[in-house]
A and B are shown apart, each in its own frame.
Chain A
Amino acid sequence: SQTIHQWPATLVQPVGSPLSLECTVEGTSNPNLYWYRQAAGRGLQLLFYSVGIGQISSEVPQNLSASRPQDRQFILSSKKLLLSDSGFYLCAWSVYYGYTFGSGTRLTVV
């Protein structure tokens, strides 16, 4: 069966520090991968999506970046975090329809 792993579950980082969140998928090949952000009590905002290795599409201009070094690995990064980067970051994958989300990372920038 397909599973999605996302870590860490929680993270507290100072302003200006770098960020690296990793997501891996098991049990499927060539999935579409996504990074979403959810601000407290609000909806989900699509940040990046990838349809293949090295292929990244950005939805929102910001100080975040994404990479897909392997078929089932998706990484979200930042060189310098801002206070406004705080939120709940969710990785997801899809093959046909119906997105499967990871358990998410709660990031607090202090």
Chain B
Amino acid sequence: GQQVMQIPQYQHVQEGEDFTTYCNSSTTLSNIQWYKQRPGGHPVFLIQLVKSGEVKKQKRLTFQFGEAKKNSSLHITATQTTDVGTYFCASLPGAGSYQLTFGKGTKLSVIP
């Protein structure tokens, strides 16, 4: 399946600071999905991006899909302790495929 590289692996921020995680691929992605996994929990679907240059917002979270559809980012404005967890990007090889491939995730710690 497609390989998606995610950076950074870890990020420690002071509460109130912003946070960004990046997802990169050497090949064009048909779509990108983002998930959040709280400590001890299971991944929870956040959003899917499909269109080149697409930007979607969910409250303090902003998701972007690159113009070339080879990269994506998740930006959190003014982090809160409830944002703690690991954020994963994931991608399907193409329409009608089933092998959702996950990046290794970015583990976010928020210092109160």
Give residues in A with beta carbon < 8 Å to B: 32, 34, 41-44, 46, 49, 51, 57, 59, 90, 97-104
- Chain B residue at minimal CB-CB distance from A49: B98
A36 closest partner in B (C-beta): B102
> Which A residue sits closest to B104, measured CB to CB?
A43
Beta-carbon contact of A99 and B42 below 8 Å: no
**Which 9 pairs from chain A and chain B are nearest by CB?**
A98-B45, A43-B104, A101-B42, A44-B102, A49-B98, A43-B102, A104-B42, A97-B48, A101-B43
How distant is the Cα of A59 from the Cα of B100 in the complex, in angstroms?
Answer: 11
- Structural contact, B100 and A46, CB atoms closer than 8 A: yes
Contact of A97 among B1, B31, B88, B107 (CB under 8 A): B31
Q: Which residues of B contact A100 (CB under 8 A)?
A: 45
With A43-B88, A97-B31 as given contacts, are A102 and B102 in contact (CB-CB < 8 Å)? no
Query: Which residues, 81 to 109 on B, are CB-close (under 8 Å) to A?
Result: 88, 90, 92, 98-105, 107
Q: 19 A-B residue contacts at CB 8 Å?
A: A32-B98, A41-B107, A42-B104, A43-B102, A44-B90, A44-B102, A46-B1, A49-B98, A49-B99, A51-B98, A57-B98, A97-B33, A97-B48, A98-B33, A98-B45, A99-B100, A100-B45, A101-B44, A102-B42
Quote the shortest CB–CB distance from B100 to chain A (angstroms).
6
In the complex, what residues of B have CB within 8 A of residue A57's CB?
A: 98
Q: Which residues of B contact A41 (CB under 8 A)?
A: 107
B45 touches A99 (CB 8 A): yes
5 new A-B pairs (CB below 8 Å) besides A34-B98, A97-B92, A103-B41? A43-B103, A46-B100, A49-B99, A97-B48, A99-B33
